[in-house]
A and B are shown apart, each in its own frame.
Chain A
Amino acid sequence: EDQVTQSPEALRLQEGESSSLNCSYTVSGLRGLFWYRQDPGKGPEFLFTLYSAGEEKEKERLKATLTKKESFLHITAPKPEDSATYLCAVQAGNTDKLIFGTGTRLQVFP
């Protein structure tokens, strides 16, 4: 069964304290791995898509990487406005449906 697991569930960082979020997946035939940011009470906001192992993408303080079993979202020198829940999702097989993890709730304190 296709599965996505994110860790940690919650992460508290001091402003400027870099860290990484993990998304491990077990799927048959990965077609794409997606990272979203979700603020409280809002819909997920698209961040990145990764398609193959070794691929990396960056956006401001965020960098996403992909291996054959997991993806990392690296946050460099985070700011309080980076506080949100970060969701990982995969597409697998010949379907475009997304399978989501439960997310990592990030809090960045000044």
Chain B
Amino acid sequence: EADIYQTPRYLVIGTGKKITLECSQTMGHDKMYWYQQDPGMELHLIHYSYGVNSTEKGDLSSESTVSRIRTEHFPLTLESARPSHTSQYLCASSSGGVGNTIYFGEGSWLTVV
């Protein structure tokens, strides 16, 4: 069972607003990820981190930014939200190593109006 928590679960905000999606895990995992998923579509990796002070962009270009100041915390920020940012954002973590399971949080549904 994965202990990975995302807040908020649902958020509706206006265009131009700054938002931060929170993600925390209590498993002590070094590796953390953010995936983006539109309804009925596949998940795409937008950011990942292999440890504190390590962040990399994923395969799908995103205007969001991330930070990793603590092992357990991996927030995602949008400085100026736009309707095109409307999507589900999924945080995940892994103990590391190829073949190790990646566990997901419940997701954050973002709607920008």
A contacts, CB < 8 Å to B: 31-32, 34, 36, 41-46, 49, 51, 87, 89, 91, 94-98, 100-103
- Do most interface residues of chain A lie in helix, strand or loop, or is the interface mixed? loop
Which chain A residues lie closer than 8 Å to B97 at the CB level? 96
A102 to B59, CA, bound (A): 16
- Do most interface residues of chain B lie in helix, strand or loop, or is the interface mixed? loop
- Out of A41, A95, A98, name the residue touching B43 (CB < 8 Å): A98
B contacts, CB < 8 Å to A: 2, 6, 31, 33, 40-45, 48, 58-59, 90, 92, 94, 96-107, 109
- Out of B42, B45, B101, B104, name the residue touching A49 (CB < 8 Å): B101
Inter-chain contact A32/B107, CB cutoff 8 Å:
no
A29 to B67, CA, bound (A): 31
Inter-chain contact A97/B42, CB cutoff 8 Å:
no
- Out of A98, A101, A102, A103, name the residue touching B102 (CB < 8 Å): A98
Inter-chain contact B96/A43, CB cutoff 8 Å:
no
Q: Which among A32, A46, A96, A100 has the greatest number of chain B C-beta atoms within 10 A? A: A96
Inter-chain contact A94/B42, CB cutoff 8 Å:
no
Inter-chain contact A44/B98, CB cutoff 8 Å:
no
Inter-chain contact B90/A46, CB cutoff 8 Å:
no
Which chain B residues lie closer than 8 Å to A31 at the CB level? 98-99
Which chain A residues lie closer than 8 Å to B40 at the CB level? 102
A31 to B102, CA, bound (A): 13
Starting from the known contacts A44-B43, A46-B103, 6 additional A-B residue pairs (CB-CB under 8 Å) come to A34-B101, A43-B92, A43-B104, A97-B59, A98-B102, A100-B44
Inter-chain contact B42/A102, CB cutoff 8 Å:
yes
Q: Which among A36, A41, A43, A98 has the greatest number of chain B C-beta atoms within 10 A? A: A43
A42 to B39, CA, bound (A): 11
A46 to B48, CA, bound (A): 19
Inter-chain contact A98/B45, CB cutoff 8 Å:
yes
